[in-house]
């Protein structure tokens, strides 16, 4: 083709390329692929941004986790800690190990734990059985005569199922009867512990409350399961009183055991009931102190340390 001349076809192709590309630069397949990738990326970014905004809006409007709501209700509980259920509520809201979740974070449920085993307090005691088998086991212990008077031979028997060891109980009662504040302070009295199978003048029986009521023929409602007695030549000691003492007696349970023995053995040797001699004075051992002290001071012994009998007016 001669120089300086152009054809209409070349001009038309150039115009077409300018209109399609928008820049006037020629565009090949590679450029078109890059442009398509950019368009897909923009669409992906737009969809992702829209999703993130929607999730944020939903999270803001979503209610607080249930753990925090329950903790708030427990803290706001108006009932005191000693009201029904109040103690557990106070413990959980004040001392929970997990607490409330931080704002914006889901609550982590606490790990399950095994229930705690109850621990007995330092001063707790085993419960006293209300009833036993009704059969008694005699002590095998024996001792020397105590006191200057005519010896009364005695043995101890313990109801099976009471949890009391016969020989240990025999030693305790022997110590009481041999105390210088006891009945041997009177030269007319004497005692001797003998073992199983030996003849006796009286027997000391430690029995459960139910068996005691049967042996003592208790019918007074307020005394059912509570009292001791002498029945024939049996000194019946209520297991509950032996183990727990009496609400009326201020002192160690060992002292109350001495009162039981001295009172009931007092009946065995012929002593009757006495009452309070006056406010502030020692209650006689022959006073029914379990019924109240009437102003007297609780006392377990018939005599004081000087050998003076602690008496009171006789009860008709």
**Rounded to whole angstroms, how far apart are CA atoms 114 and 188?**
66
**Rounded to whole angstroms, how far apart are CA atoms 181 and 178?**
8
Contact 83, 123 (CB under 8 A): no
Q: Tell me, what's the pLDDT at 24?
A: 44
More reliable by pLDDT, 57 or 95: 57
Q: Tell me, what's the pLDDT at 49?
A: 67
Per-residue pLDDT tens digits for 44-72:
667 666 665 654 555 444 444 333 332 33
Band of pLDDT at residue 152, cut at 50, 70 and 90: very high
**What average pLDDT score do residues 297-308 get?**
96
Spatial CB neighbours of 259, under 8 Å, sequence gap ≥ 6: 249, 285, 289, 298, 299, 300
**What average pLDDT score do residues 81-105 get?**
34
**Rounded to whole angstroms, how far apart are CA atoms 273 and 263?**
9
Per-residue pLDDT tens digits for 166-198:
999 999 999 999 999 999 999 999 999 999 999
More reliable by pLDDT, 232 or 104: 232
Here the tokens at position 151 are 């010896």
Q: Is 176 helix (H, G, I), strand (E, B) or coil?
A: helix
> What values do phi and psi take at 138, rounded to 5?
-85, 150
Query: Which fold is adopted by the domain 136-291?
Result: Collagenase (Catalytic Domain) (3.40.390)
Band of pLDDT at residue 29, cut at 50, 70 and 90: confident
Contact 310, 282 (CB under 8 A): yes
């Amino acid at each position: 083709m001669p120089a300086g001349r152009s054809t209409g076809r070349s001009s038309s192709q150039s115009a077409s390329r300018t209109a399609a590309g928008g820049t006037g630069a020629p565009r090949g397949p590679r450029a078109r692929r890059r442009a398509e990738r950019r368009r897909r990326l923009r669409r992906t970014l737009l969809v992702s941004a829209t999703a993130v905004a929607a999730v944020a809006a939903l999270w803001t409007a979503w209610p607080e986790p249930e753990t925090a709501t329950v903790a708030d209700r427990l803290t706001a509980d108006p009932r005191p800690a000693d009201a029904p259920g109040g103690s557990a509520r106070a413990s959980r809201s004040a001392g929970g190990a997990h607490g409330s979740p931080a704002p914006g974070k889901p609550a982590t449920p606490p790990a399950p734990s095994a229930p705690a085993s109850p621990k007995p307090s330092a001063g707790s005691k085993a419960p006293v059985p209300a009833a036993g088998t009704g059969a008694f086991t005699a002590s095998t212990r024996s001792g020397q005569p105590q006191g200057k008077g005519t010896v009364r031979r005695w043995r101890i028997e313990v109801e099976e199922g009471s949890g009391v060891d016969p020989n240990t109980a025999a030693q305790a009662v022997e110590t009481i009867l041999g105390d210088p504040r006891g009945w041997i302070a009177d030269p007319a009295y004497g005692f001797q512990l003998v073992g199983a199978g030996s003849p006796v003048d009286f027997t000391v029986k430690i029995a459960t409350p139910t068996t005691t009521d049967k042996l003592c023929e208790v019918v007074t409602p307020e005394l059912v399961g509570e009292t001791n007695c002498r029945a024939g030549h049996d000194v019946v000691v209520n297991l509950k009183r032996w183990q727990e003492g009496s609400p009326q007696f201020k002192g160690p349970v060992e002292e109350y055991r001495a009162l039981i023995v001295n009172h009931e053995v007092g009946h065995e040797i012929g002593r009757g009931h006495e009452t309070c001699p006056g406010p502030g004075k020692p209650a006689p051992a022959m006073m029914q102190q379990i019924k109240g002290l009437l102003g007297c001071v609780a006392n377990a012994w018939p005599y004081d340390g000087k050998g003076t009998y602690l008496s009171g007016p006789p009860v008709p």
